[in-house]
Amino acid sequence: MVEESSNPRLHSLALIAVVLLFALTGCVPASGTELNEVNLAVESQMWSYQEDRTRDCMLETGFEYVTRAAPAGSGQAVARSPYSLTLDQARRYGFGYVDAALLVAGAQASDPNSQYRASLGADQQLVYDHALEGDPRGESAGCRAIAQEDAFAEYSDDFQTVVGSSDSLLEVANDPRYVAFESAWAECMTQAGYPTSGFEDFHRTWVVKAAAVVAVSYDELGNQTQNVDSAAADAALNAEINAAVANVDCLAPLEDDFNKVIDDVLG
């Protein structure tokens, strides 16, 4: 993970941190497609590790937990190449932000844990929620948060490598060719009906839109309830898909420019 910085160029360059990670470890994928495959493999391993840890932790508290499949959408989260998203993925899942928001909320009908929770009595549901998500007052962490920390600890070397590559990030960020690459993409997206100043601004907008499909409320004890408007979620996903397809279309003619900067800086 790339740390916050006062330099706005570092924020947009978080998108290529994984490219630099593989370069620093001596394994640079030869193309955006290969990079995407490596990214997906790493994400899959981390997700599975986290879900297994959550299951083991919940079993220790006396509750069942069925490990969930990774979200179907493969979104461009921060530390990912702009070319991680394929056209097929964009057409089916958008960036994956809406899917991720629904999964986090436990709102997907296919989530076996939502069904298991519903089978419990009201009092046991509260105990289950505290075990999984932690005390609503923040006095104790839940199994999911503990599992996330364990997952980051397990992959800490990779994250430390990315954080330690800030010099390389700045070198790419300040390269006039990269500035021109991002500007050309932003201009294309604006012309397509998605006004934006750059990658960070664009993706932040869609993360916020996805999060808005989940309404969160609290009772007097601080227990959280999450509700999803299905129609709003469907509309948000359709809008995200259209934006994702436009994003892929705008990036396509610029891929050689992007790869040239990465090759030159890392060479």
pLDDT one-digit tens code per residue, 139-154: 788 999 899 888 878 8
Helices and strands, number each (H, E), in the chain: 14, 2
Strand extents, DSSP E, the chain: 214-218, 224-228
End-to-end Cα distance, the chain = 23
- Is the pTM above the cut of 0.85? no
Residue in 52, 60, 9, 55 with CA at minimum distance from that of residue 181: 9
Strand extents, DSSP E, 142-243: 214-218, 224-228
Query: Quick check: helix, strand or coil at residue 43?
Result: helix
Q: What is the mean pLDDT of residues 170-177?
A: 84
d(CA 241, CA 244): 5
Residues above pLDDT 90, as percent of the chain:
30
Burial class (CB in 10 A: 0-12, 13-18, 19+), 87: middle
Question: What pLDDT is attached to residue 236?
Answer: 94
Question: What is the overall mean pLDDT for the chain?
Answer: 76
Cα separation values, 216 from 56, 131, 138, Å: 28, 19, 17
SS (H, E, C) 71-122: CCCCCCCCCCCHHHCCHHHHHHHCCCHHHHHHHHCCCCCCCHHHHHHHCCCH
By residue count, the chain amounts to 267
d(CA 223, CA 33): 44
